[in-house]
Amino acid sequence: MMSNPKALSLFSGAGGLDVGVIQAGFEVLACIEMDPFACETLRANIEREHRSTKVYEQDIRQVNPIQLLLDLNLQPGELDLLFGGPPCQPFSQIGKRSSLRDERGLLLFEMVRFARSFRPRVILIEQVKGLLNAPDHNGVAGNVFKKLIDELEAIGYHSKWKVINAADYGVPQLRQRVFIVSAREEIDFHFPEPTHSATCNSSLFFSLPPYVTVGEALQGLAEPCQSDGGHSPIDNHVDITPAGDRRRISGVPEGSHLAAQTHLPAEQRRNLTKKDTTKFKRLSRHEPANTLRCGEIFFHPTEDRYLTPREYMRLHGYPDNYILKGPIRGRSGRVRYLDQHRQIANSVPPPVAKIIAQAILEALYAPDI
């Protein structure tokens, strides 16, 4: 390869996919993201890394891909990789699953609109696995996914997909997502084999190392700073736990959740039910984390506090020099834009993005490597 292959990032969020794609060897020419705090995060890291990536803080539906081609000085077919993780809430198995009835579900097909203009060599899409059986307007299960694959096929792209657990690739988190790789040329792409496994069988000669645990991921971090009014120091390692939540998590054993502690006072458990297994959840040092989600902030394994944004980044596989911008908010209240914990929970773990992007590169440039 004479120069770094070129990539374009859609629905960039905090940049988890971007980090992995860049680590794999791509140059990201531009990011499109409408959340202002996520855009602050993207710009801060672009500046820190002295990259020339452009950030378009816009609703993607208002972006003209033909004009963007001109802005980036590209011709159709010159882009190597178009990648993105469109909003997943319409297809999430823990949400209302409103699919295409939710206008955010239609954003998935923006990937096709941009592919039609840019004609990239490869498209990479990340989504919740609920996309695979999400119903269409007529309620037919699986038809949203079929429609996506059919539309990609109609413009010349052949697709492969796989549900991937981030823990299988060294991320200390049990997180299953579907990844779709679509190519407009015949390439020998295969999803990478896992590098870690749930158990380490020492009797096997080629056994994989066990999953990385929360304790291993958090090792070496100093005590967090206390809240400074919603914003964090440069390392994002700040504790914003309200006194009331410190009292409520007190007495919950490592690896368990408050609703299961029926011996604790009713006023401490309040209105939690036995279904509330992720609310007031204390992680275990000896296992990977549960999937990081936007609805809750998980608690530290041994301390009566939330995990900090830096600890969330550790559990997601971000490098320690990555910077988050925007406020850090408590678990209560609705906010319009993404706070730091939700920026991470919404993003793709960079190690997963990297290993898939590396496999794409190997397939694209197999004769040259």
**Residue 333 is assigned to a structural domain of this protein:** no
User: Which of 211, 172, 183 has the alpha carbon at shortest distance from 290?
Assistant: 172
Residue found under tokens 């959340």: 35
**Residue 21 is assigned to a structural domain of this protein:** yes
Give the total number of structural domains in the chain. 1
**Residue 241 is assigned to a structural domain of this protein:** no
Pairing verdict, β 54-56 and 27-32: parallel
Q: How many CB atoms lie within 10 A of CB 196?
A: 19
Q: Please give the C-alpha separations between residue 346 and each of 77, 81, 258, 342, in angstroms, as whole numbers.
A: 30, 21, 25, 6
Rounded distance, CA 44 to CA 38, Å? 10
Is there a catalytic annotation at residue 88? yes
Of 88, 200, 225, 294, the active-site residue reads 88
Q: What are phi and psi of 249, to 5 degrees?
A: -80, -15
Rounded distance, CA 350 to CA 278, Å? 24
Q: What is the residue type of 349?
A: P
Per-residue pLDDT at 333: 52
Question: Which pairs from 53-59 meet CB under 8 Å and 24+ separation?
Answer: 53/28, 53/29, 54/29, 54/30, 55/12, 55/30, 55/31, 56/30, 56/31, 56/32, 57/33, 58/32, 58/34, 59/34
Q: CATH code at 160?
A: 3.40.50.150
Q: How many CB atoms lie within 10 A of CB 34?
A: 17
Instruction: Give the HSE-up count for residue 128: Cα atoms under 13 Å, Cβ half-sphere.
Output: 20
DSSP for 237-268, please give it.
Answer: -EE---HHHHHHHTTPPTT-BGGG-TTS-HHH
List the pLDDT tens digit at each of the 369 positions of the chain: 458 999 999 999 999 999 999 999 999 999 999 999 999 999 999 999 999 999 999 999 999 999 999 999 999 999 999 999 998 666 555 555 555 554 556 899 999 999 999 999 999 999 999 999 999 888 899 999 999 999 999 999 999 999 999 999 999 999 999 999 999 988 999 999 999 999 765 555 568 999 999 999 999 999 999 875 545 567 899 999 999 999 999 999 999 999 999 999 999 999 999 999 999 999 999 999 999 998 889 999 999 999 999 999 999 999 999 999 999 876 655 667 899 999 999 999 999 999 999 999 999 988 654
**Residue 112 is assigned to a structural domain of this protein:** yes
Per-residue pLDDT at 369: 43
**Residue 152 is assigned to a structural domain of this protein:** yes
Per-residue pLDDT at 345: 96
Per-residue pLDDT at 2: 54
DSSP for 6-47, please give it.
Answer: EEEEES-TTSHHHHHHHHHT-EEEEEE---HHHHHHHHHHHH
**Residue 95 is assigned to a structural domain of this protein:** yes
Residues spanned by the domain of 29: 6-197+348-368
**Residue 247 is assigned to a structural domain of this protein:** no
**Residue 93 is assigned to a structural domain of this protein:** yes
Query: Any idea what DSSP says for residue 365?
Result: T
Q: Is 297 exposed, middle or buried (0-12, 13-18, 19+ CB in 10 A)?
A: buried
